Chains A and B, each alone.
Chain A
Amino acid sequence: MTYVAPLPREAITDPEMRDLIAQSEVLGVPDDLFPRILARAPEQAKPFMRALLMSHAEGNVDHRLKEIIRIQLARFAGDKYFAALRSRKARELGLDEKRIDAGCSDYEDSDLFTEAEKCALRYADQMYLDPNKVDAAFYAELKKHFTEPQIMELGAFIAFHYGMQMFMRSLGAVAPSSPT
């Protein structure tokens, strides 16, 4: 059990919040634990859920790449909850565990990734490990592969998901017991 208990589903009556939970269950990320905890602060819950879903599943950067980055970050954050969740959309688009594991480890030497994908994985990898390396030269390299809107989409995605993963880690959240 997390240090702050999630609200029971029946206690969440706001139609938009219920719809956001339904959307997240279709995607698989998050499951209902994260929104039921957020729902304790109803004014915060909806914008945070909208941002979490939109930044992950919408936009102009490949969802499969963002899914690998999300899991890479969760492992780095030590957040067992988000690290265990998987996007059904990404799975349906062909993302498998072998590629996820490669993206979270020795991606630089892997032939599974394009130079653009490696650059995006490095962006997330370095952001919290060694942010001084994410400098003007690094952004110049990113711009060879991505547009500026895509770079901002990636950066905001990385920042938001890492922040929510650290929040869930602080609550003592663990991996869901049932497969997602």
Chain B
Amino acid sequence: MFSAADKLALRYSELMATDPDAIDAAFFDALRQHYSEEEIVELGVFIGFNLGYHTFFGTLKFYPLFSPDGRLLTQAESEKIYGATPGSLKPSEPAE
């Protein structure tokens, strides 16, 4: 489903949130094989921005606005579908 470039971008997001020490010069060399410097900076600030805001929004009990089939939901309907705890506040699955 994902290209090598997509996978690297997803990996950047995952590592920034969970293991930033694993992001090193070699990782950026790999990013440069698929993205320009401009795109890497765009990606990095976008990930950082979302990393900060999703947790904040989670504490405000923001729920997804749409059902899986795209229907606009009320907060109560959303809570019924997606559960009582916003996804950003759910504990991560323990590593295997």
Contacts and interface: CB of A to CB of B under 8 A. Distances in A.
Interface of A: 3-4, 37-38, 40-44, 48, 78, 127-128, 131-132, 134-136, 138-139, 155-156, 158-167, 169-172
B56 A167 contact: no
Contacts of A132: 85, 89
Nearest to A48: B45
Interface of B: 12, 15-17, 20, 23-25, 27-28, 37-42, 44-53, 55-56, 58-61, 85, 88-89
Contacts of B42: 41, 43-44
Contact of B56 (A43, A158, A165, A172): A158
A41 B41 contact: yes
A35 to B, nearest CB: 11
Given A4-B28, A127-B59, A131-B59, A159 B45 contact: no
Contacts of A131: 55, 58-59, 88-89
Contacts of A135: 59
A128 B40 CA distance: 25
Given A3-B27, A40-B41, A163-B49, 15 more contacts: A3-B23, A3-B25, A4-B40, A38-B45, A40-B37, A44-B45, A44-B46, A132-B89, A138-B59, A139-B59, A156-B56, A158-B52, A163-B53, A170-B15, A170-B44
